[in-house]
Amino acid sequence: MTSPHIPLLLDCDTGIDDAIALTYLASRPEVELAGIVSTAGNVTTEHVLGNNLALADMLGLDVPVARGADGPLAQELMTAEDTHGPTGMGHAQLPATTRTADPRSGAQLWVDAARAHPGELVGLVLGPHTNLALGLEIEPELPRLLSRLHIMGGAINHRGNTLPTTEWNIAVDPEAAQRVLAAFASAPRRPVLAPLDATESVRFTQETLDALRAISDHPVITALAEALRWYFEFHEADGFGWMAHVHDPLVAAHALVPELARTTPLAVDVELEGTLTRGQTVGDWLGRWNREPNVDVMTEVDADCFVAHLLAVLRARFGA
């Protein structure tokens, strides 16, 4: 028996871990990618779009790849070349591509994909929420048109990775994240939010990197390994040792294999005004706001099982 196809839209700021997530999704036969939205974040929109176009070519994906907005809704764009390298792919050099972007905006691609798959489309936001927030302006019914929404973002009971209390994807565009969480509070199914509390339980070690390289000499595997080498160097310079926290692939995998992590309903909002805490995701564990939960927060991860699963999927696609 063949698995039913799952229409899925990926919104990402590619980015090393975004590239791994995209490769994972392209390697799952049941996933029908409805499109890729390129969002400014880890690097500029121009570099994100270039990475997504090149990876789509390398992976043989015949899907629309859209250019998103060039910056956040209400603040200047900040990027993370120190974390992801000058073009977002670390030490990897992606091949040149003649492929061109879809003429639609990232926001319009969200809307068109949701309308084409009403009640079926799974949305993944692995970067800032800018283009989904803009999509809501075009089509306020997006929360009811999507089947599910999975988000990598925030830090609930965890230190930040941008400022002391803020996670990168939310901090790049807090207004967009706040608008999305508010809009999807009325969705038939709560979004799944994967904060740093959960994603930083996943650690790639040298053993993981060696296992990845051992899969094959396929250009995609080589590119991911070279990108990860930069990621390891960044984490070592940042005081974590020779390893890497790999966030986005966990969110992609959990959307397809929910057994990889547990979730807990929670009311979550984004701080927009704090002088020290702008961009912080705040979870109301004690119910002080008297609000219904608006997300299912990822709380427990089987990290070893996830890493084994990811390598197995890539091995099945790219192994000799």
Catalytic residues: 247
Q: How many CB atoms lie within 10 A of CB 207?
A: 9
Q: What is the dihedral of CA 270, 170, 110, 228, to 10 degrees?
A: -160
Answer yes or no: are the C-beta atoms of 309 and 253 closer than 8 Å. yes
HSE-CB of 153 using CA atoms within 13 angstroms: 36
User: Could you write out the DSSP letters of every residue in 34-60?
Assistant: EEEEE-SSSS-HHHHHHHHHHHHHHTT
Sign of the torsion formed by the C-alpha atoms of 235, 319, 317 and 198: negative
Q: What is the rounded CA–CA span in Å between residue 28 and residue 108?
A: 26
